[in-house]
Homo-oligomer: A and B are copies of this chain.
Amino acid sequence: MTQRVRVQNFTVSRDGIGAGEDQSLEQPFGHVNPGELMAWALETASVPARAEPGGTRGLEDYFTRDFAHGIGAEIMGRHKFGHQRGPWPDDGWIGWWGEEPPFHTPVFVLTHHPHPDLTLGETTFHFLDASPQEALARAKDAADGKDVRIGGGVTTLREFLEADLVDEMHVAIAPLEYETGLRLWENPEELTDRFHLEQITAASGATHCFFWRR
Contacts and interface: CB of A to CB of B under 8 A. Distances in A.
A62 interface: yes
Interface residues of A, number: 20
Interface string A45-71: 100000000001111011101100100
Given A200-B200, A200-B202, A62 B66 contact: yes
A92 to B, nearest CB: 34
Interface in A190-214: 196, 198, 200, 202-203, 208, 210, 212
A196 B66 contact: no
Contacts of A212: 45, 56-58
Interface string A169-189: 000000000000000000000
Contacts of A56: 196, 198, 212
